[in-house]
Amino acid sequence: MAGSALDTISDDEARARLVDQLLADGRITSPAVERAFRRVPRHLFAPDDVSIDATYADDVIITKRGPDGRATSSISAPWLQAMMLHAARLRPGARVLEIGSGGYNAALIAEVVGPHGNVTSIDIDPDVTAQARAALDSTGYPHVQVATADAETGRPAAAPYDAVIVTVEASDIPPAWIDQLAPEGILVVPLRMRGNTRCLTLTRETNHLIAIDSIVCGFVPMRGAAANSVTRRALRGDDVTLCIDDPDTQALNFDAQTSTLNGPHIEAWSAVTTPPATSFDSLHLWLASQPHPYGQLAVDRDRAADLEPQNWVACPALLTDDSITYLTIRRLDDTAWQFGARGYGPHAAPLTQHLLDLIADWDRHHRNTPGPHIAVYPNGTIPPPTDQPRLVVARRHSTTAITWTTSRSRA
Ligand SMILES: C[S@@+](CC[C@H](N)C(=O)[O-])C[C@H]1O[C@@H](n2cnc3c(N)ncnc32)[C@H](O)[C@@H]1O
């Protein structure tokens, strides 16, 4: 249970403030979800050392870390939980499978589906399920079923589900999730596609699934049978980490990359500008969608400030065996920032020009569209051919096709 004598606000006041904020931000858009957030005491699911203020901030709470210090479990940020509840289109009486437990989100789901609904929550970590079980029991949700199980197998015992809500980053869609979904069911899943994670709302369409909604998000990575981590390479000592989420790219020889960023660079600027405080998500996914070796740079801001990537955590980069070009940006004036490309290595010039061309294509054809069409094809089905730009992510159980159309027509 979170909170201490130092708290300046009661949990009731803090919860009311959070819900008011989520309503004002447009994150909560239905009375049922609002009621759930007003009722479920988030602080009773949080660790003891988290203050009431922090518990009811619109932010993630880390609840467990692995030996490397990385988070392995957390209570997701309220704004994202609210949006995922809406995405799942939950109705009273619905049967729901939550993959990735903690207790709090399962309690929210239980509130929304009501006494005639059915909620099952699974987690691979027995510590997490034990904690979730205890917190659910003590807060009035003993009817929520909690089990220790791997996401890969789902939970056939309580299927079929009207909604499967995955609260851990996936890179693939195991057959169990589709098999256990009711015919009109909805699968909400944070799917990593070449390093870009989008929480997709997937529905059945003949033999495959299509995304009817997509939210940029981040989650702790999947462990167990479906684990599929990105490859990380240290560059320039360990000032920079190159993250590669692409089996083809992994076939390249990246040993030569380790010192590429130590050398001289070229820089070139596109004609494309952006107003301050706008989202770069569409451009990032577009750059990842190219048939070119691609990675993302995580740059240490203190040690490598000179690199000036557009994004310090996940900056899009085009690669060859020995060269690298990444997205950069500079301020022109109060109203505009300009995109550019910075290249290192013997092939920096063509690589840099290629990145500028891609930025121009995005600006011309895709910047003001609703985004790509995303569809998941289970093994045994294949995406139909298209002449539109497309990223195909082939995994063990499924293939995801991210197709960029220049109009609203869908491939
Ligand atoms: C973000 S947390 C879940 C948050 C939770 N739904 C809440 O109430 O906010 C993600 C969870 O996924 C779990 N997880 C990771 N890999 C898994 C797997 N293969 N199967 C089931 N759970 C897994 C982790 O142990 C972690 O507890």
Nearest-atom index, ligand 1, CA of 104:
8
Residue 211 CB–ligand 1 contact under 6 Å: no
pLDDT in tens, 35-81: 999 999 999 999 999 999 999 999 999 999 999 999 999 999 999 99
Give the percent of the chain with pLDDT over 90.
86
Calpha distance 119→392 (Å, rounded): 34
pLDDT at 277 over 90: no
Residue 17 CB–ligand 1 contact under 6 Å: no
pLDDT in tens, 354-364: 999 999 999 99
pLDDT at 31 over 80: yes
Place of tokens 């999947």: 222
Beta bridge partners of 188: 165, 201
Residue 19 CB–ligand 1 contact under 6 Å: no
pLDDT at 408 over 50: no
Task: Report the separation in Å between the CA atom of 73 and the middle of ligand 1, taken as the mean of its atom positions.
Answer: 6
Q: Which residues contact 248 (CB under 8 A, 6 or more apart)?
A: 293
Nearest-atom index, ligand 1, CA of 64:
27
Long-range CB contacts (< 8 A, 24+ apart) of 229-233? 230/192, 230/195, 233/257, 233/258
pLDDT at 83 over 80: yes
Amino acid identity for residue 31 in this structure: P
Q: How confident is the model at residue 254, as a pLDDT?
A: 72
User: Active-site residue numbers?
Assistant: 76
For residues 249 and 219, which has the higher predicted lDDT (pLDDT)?
Answer: 219
Q: Which residues contact 130 (CB under 8 A, 6 or more apart)?
A: none
Three-state SS annotation for the chain: CCCCCCCCCCHHHHHHHHHHHHHHCCCCCCHHHHHHHHHCCHHHCCCCCCCHHHHCCCCCEEEEECCCCCEEEEECCHHHHHHHHHHCCCCCCCEEEEECCCCHHHHHHHHHHCCCCEEEEEECCHHHHHHHHHHHHHCCCCCCEEEECCHHHCCHHHCCEEEEEECCEECCCCHHHHHCEEEEEEEEEEEEECCEEEEEEEEEECCEEEEEEEEECCCCECCHHHCCCCEEEEECCCCEEEEECCHHHHCCCCHHHHHHHHCCEEEEEEEEEECCCCCCHHHHHHHHCCCCCEEEEEECCCCCHHHCCCCCCCEEEEECCCCEEEEEEEEEECCEEEEEEEEECCCHHHHHHHHHHHHHHHHHHHCCCCCCEEEEEECCCCCCCCCCCEEEEECCCEEEEEECCCCCCCC
pLDDT in tens, 170-185: 999 999 999 999 999 9
pLDDT in tens, 389-404: 899 999 999 999 999 9
Place of tokens 């890969």: 152
Q: How confident is the model at residue 251, as a pLDDT?
A: 62
Contact 119, 105 (CB under 8 A): no
Ligand 1 site-directed mutation target among 45, 167, 168, 199, most atoms within 8 Å of CB: 168
For 128-135, what is the mean pLDDT? Answer: 98
Residue 391 CB–ligand 1 contact under 6 Å: no
Q: How confident is the model at residue 325, as a pLDDT?
A: 97
Q: How confident is the model at residue 9, as a pLDDT?
A: 83
For 247-259, what is the mean pLDDT? Answer: 69
Contact 200, 193 (CB under 8 A): no
Nearest-atom index, ligand 1, CA of 151:
20
Q: How confident is the model at residue 262, as a pLDDT?
A: 87
pLDDT at 124 over 80: yes
Q: How confident is the model at residue 410, as a pLDDT?
A: 42
pLDDT in tens, 289-330: 998 899 999 999 999 999 999 999 999 999 998 899 999 999
For residues 331 and 236, which has the higher predicted lDDT (pLDDT)?
Answer: 331
* Predicted confidence band of residue 6 (pLDDT cuts 50, 70, 90): low
Residue 199 CB–ligand 1 contact under 6 Å: no
* Predicted confidence band of residue 248 (pLDDT cuts 50, 70, 90): low
What is the reported pTM?
Answer: 0.94
pLDDT in tens, 188-221: 999 999 999 999 999 999 999 999 999 999 999 9
Mean pLDDT of the chain: 94
Residue bearing the CA closest to ligand 1, atom 24 = 73
